[in-house]
Amino acid sequence: MCLFLMMNWNDVLKYANNGSPKADQIVSKSDSEWKAQLTPEQYRITRKKGTEMAFTGEYCEAHEAGKYSCICCETPLFDSSIKFDSHSGWPSFTEPITNNVIKYHKDTTMGMVRVEVLCNVCDAHLGHVFPDGPLPTGLRFCINSASIQLIEDSGS
């Protein structure tokens, strides 16, 4: 069951400035364990805060029904029903499945202020969230394909 939250930019800023909701569980592994589990590209993006090149990710143009989960810990993060084409070059979503699966951090790298989004369970870097998405939330969670995996609906 998806519990859509109707988050907005003020919620994102509150979490980025005051801390994110507590995760249901925490997954912690050593750097060598992450390297053994992930491809070099997945490791670079999720564990070293990298970014894939625009329009190159596996899920940029995906339209299959299902849930997108963290590639590192398999926590469900986004539902395909709230995925949209932002024309940004990365998969984009309007909000997470629940309010405690995403961690929000103020990011002042690259000479700008943004809000980084991470998996709240394992601290995997996912991407960033911006206040230029469609209604009703107005949010655009801009996510690296290498940080997520699609678990397709079985049709039942």
> Could you list the active site residues?
142
Measured CA to CA, the distance from residue 121 to residue 136 in angstroms comes to 27
Gyration radius of the chain's alpha carbons: 14
Measured CA to CA, the distance from residue 94 to residue 92 in angstroms comes to 7
Ramachandran angles phi, psi of 35, nearest 5°: -60, -35
Exposure letters 63-102 (e unless 16+ CB within 10 A, then b): eeebbbbbbbbebbbbbbebbeebeeebbbbbbbbbeebb
**Are 38 and 137 spatial neighbours (Cβ–Cβ below 8 Å)?**
no
